[in-house]
Each structure stands twice: as C-alpha cells, then as structure tokens.
Structure 1
Amino acid sequence: MDNADFLNALFGLEGMPRYNADIKYFLESDFRPQIFDLERICPGPRNRHGYRSDEFEPRGDYNILFVGCSWTEGQGVPRGSIYPDLVARTLAQRTGKTVRAWNLGSLGRGAEYIARIVSSSVDFLRPDLVIAVYSTADRREFFDLDGRCFCFLNVMSDFMRQNPKAYTPVTKSLVKAFHDLTSSYSDLAVLAMSLRLLSATLDLRKIPWGISAIANPAASHPFRDVIGSGIVDPRRYTGFLFDLLDTVPGDGAHPYLESHRVFAGKLADWIEARYLSEPHKVGS
C-alpha cells in the first residue's frame, strides 16, 4: 500500500467505510481476533459492511449515524435492544416515519476513531444527524506499515498480564511504549482535537450533531473538562451521560438492557425536542 492508497482508504474515498474481516479494511491488529470472540460478545446480524447496523441503503425518512465504543456497538446486548436501535424505533413510532440507525460503534475505540470514521463516512452516508458517545480518553489509533489500524487502550496492559500468550513480542513492546507515553494532558489534547474535527466536519456540511460520554470517570471527567472549556459549542452536549444501571451478565463492565433502554429514552427525547420539532419535523 502506497501513501495515496492509504489516504484514500483512511478517508473512505474508494467507497463505503467498512471493517469486514474478509476485506480487512482497517481491521484492528492481530490482538483483536485472538482476544475477542466477536460473534459471541457482539453477535449479528451485521450489515453487509460488517457493522451491527441497519443497512445503509435504502435510506429512511430520517437517518441517524451513531458512533462510539463497545457501549454503542452493544457488547453483550442483542440486536434490537442496543440504544441506537431503540432510539430509531422510538422516533419512528412518534413521527410515523422510517428512521434508520446507522451504528458505526466499534469495540475498543476512542476519540480518534470517532473523528476518523465520521470524516470518512459522512459524504457517502449523508446522515441527517450524528450522535457521538465518547469512551475513556486514553485510547489511541496507530497505523502499521501495512496500513492496518492498531487500537491502543491502557487496559491492554492488564489483558497482556492475564493472557500473555495471546500477544506477539512486537505487540507487547508497542503496548508498553504507548502506555509509557500517555498522560492526562495528551488524553485531553486528543479528545479536544477530535471534538474540533467533528465540529468542523459536520458544521461545514450543515449536518446536526450531538455528543455524550459513557458514565466512566475516565471518560466523563475529561469529556466535561473539554466541553466546559468552550472548545466546542456546549449546546451539542445532550446534558446527560450513558449511565451504567445494569451490566452484561458475567461481564460487569458493559451496560445491559435497562441501561440501553434508559439512555435511548433520554436520547430520543433530546433528538425530538431539538431536531424533530417544528420547523425541523421529519418529512417537512
């Protein structure tokens, strides 16, 4: 892959964004298939591009792009009970229109993924609204010499201690180096730059958007610090977090049915009040 091919892929210029394992489009480095059984923790159905999402075609009357980490992808939660699906269903019932949930959530992803995937997808998908739910601020994306994305998060150090044989020596060295280089200041800088890029990308195209974060202090504290700084329009913040009211059985870390239901209800109310009331009513 030369630089031109990489940049074309990075910003989706060759077609729809996808991370299907067979296509190997920005599939995470080797650790993910070894550590995570995706079909067990995030079972299908998936759309033809590999996402736990409605198909991108045909379009609905109102099309919402959701992006975030495993809480948005819905780790351990059946399709149909994930908050993007619930939001779409609720708004469809309230408006009488077809509402599509385009869920680009991906396990282990952070602020850099949100900025990149929104930048690479909006010109193809042309969503009517984008909702981004931010995860812990210590996550980074790095690209190897083959153009594949290596998703780093600090908890990978814990994963390695628990299952050292699942990691190659190179991956172990990279994780240690990345861990040693991170700081709370770099976390804030990456989050702030992601939000500014999200704002610039969507405001330029006049696409409405909203933001929130998972109710983990490692996510919510830096998120609120950045929002409070005035770097982005604070009105884009929904005003509530994705609370952990119950957890996936045997997991203890990811939201389960009640958490998704409550967050979806709040989000549907926020979207309806802000974007679906007159003069922005669907179909008007």
Structure 2
Amino acid sequence: MIDEFLAGDLGAVEEAVRAAVAEQVMPRFRQLAAHEIVEKQGPHDLVTTADRQAEEQLTDALGKLLPGSVVVGEEAVHADPAVLTALGGDAPVWIVDPVDGTRQFVHGDPGFATLVTLAHREELLASWTYAPVLGLMATARRGGGALLNGEPVHSGSPEPGTPLHVAISHYDFTTDAEKRTLSGLRAPGIEARPCGSAGLEYLNVARGQLDGVAFTWENAWDHAAGLLLVDEAGGAHSTLDGKPFRITGGNALPFTAARDEAAVRHILGLLADAG
C-alpha cells in the first residue's frame, strides 16, 4: 500500500497542504484576535486558532489520501500525548506541524511554514515544507531528491576558509545546561544565531543559504520534514552520539544537520567539547 502510494503522483498531498493553509492559516495572518491566541506552556509557546483548524483539516484530508494511515500532529499530541505512540507503529504516519513558527505568525512575520512528513516504521519517506507568504514549497522523497518550487535543490558544501553560519535553538527555549552546550559554537570559524522557524532553517541548509543547524529538542513535527529535505538535497545530519535522528525520541542531544558531512562532524565536535 505505502509503496504504491509513493510510486504515484504525490501532487494531491501538496494540494491538501496548500488548501489547508489557504483556508485556515492565511485568512488569520495579521488578523488574529486576542482570543485566538493561547499560551500552552509559557509566553513563548503559543497556539492559535489557525494551528488547530489547519491541523484538523490536514488530518481529515491526509487520512483520506492514504487509507489506513494515521496522523501525529503537534496540537493532537498536546491534547493527548498517547498519540505519539503511532510514530513507532506499523501504520503509515503523517507528521504534521500546522504552523511551524507560531510566534512569528502571531507577530505578523512571514517566517512561518506548514510542515508535513510521511513516515513508515520510523523511516522518513516524503516531506512538504510550505511557506505561503514567502512563496516557497519544498518537497523531498526518500531516494528521489529535493525540490524547491518544482526545481532541484542542492545544499552544496560551505566555502573553504569561511565561517560556518549555524542556526541554534532559541535562547527562550533552552535550559541553562543546553545553553552551556550550545556555547561551544561560540568558537572561531563559527557564526551562530538563534533560529526562527525550524522548518525554514532546514530549508535554508538544503538550498545552501545556511551552513547548519544545531537543536536541543526532538519534537518530530519540528524536524522530520527538514531532516529529509536536507538529506535529499545532499546534506547530512547526526545526533551527538553519531547516530541518525529517531522520530520516536530518545536521541542524544543536541543534534545537527548541515550542508555536508564535514560540517556535521565539526559542529558535533564543538558541541561535545562544550558539553
């Protein structure tokens, strides 16, 4: 079933993503009322009506496109953490972040995206990263490469002798211990900055506009789409213990994704030394 689905035209998935964003997200961009914004676990962890409605629409649409599949969405997991167990199950699973970069969305910043990934038995198979205001749709298929607005995209390698530009977990979301580890990237030859939307940072790596990312959290909906996109664009990724990222969790953190293997090794080395 899953092989037949992947062998076909996945354009219907892109259409479903675009439709959910057009109907549930964009009408609320820069139009949110106060009651449509709610704190989840603090002032920096927000959810809006757009997040909830877009996830509901995607859950319905994606389930119909692939009968027997299940959906693990950020808001569904927040409501019921048991939903996460589907990531390790036998059914194909859609991993959905309806608005990645909710804080940016709330503040009227165009730097947000909708992320959808199809996985099966913990393997990432296909992904969609859609930034509607920026006019960007990036897709990846396992073994099939990465596309940006329909054109092949390649990460390339950092320019020799130039600093590595790395986006790291935002200070507002890190513990003191995580800050100490990330301080390893305050090193000669590294220019680190706080990340925005994780999905868009991965896209920046995939298109060679950013050399790497280093993150301290492992929510599958934030990372699955981008990790596949970077890998299929020719980049690489690894957790701190040198293993691939597992969507089911339990990863050695921080982890990194970068434009090539050499950049991954360099970033991980600095993080390990600081930790």
- TM-score normalised by L of structure 2: 0.27
Higher relative contact order (CA 8 A, sep 6+): 1
Say which structure is richer in strand. Answer: 2
Normalized per residue, the structure richer in helix is 1
With structure 1 as the length reference, what TM-score do the two structures score? 0.27
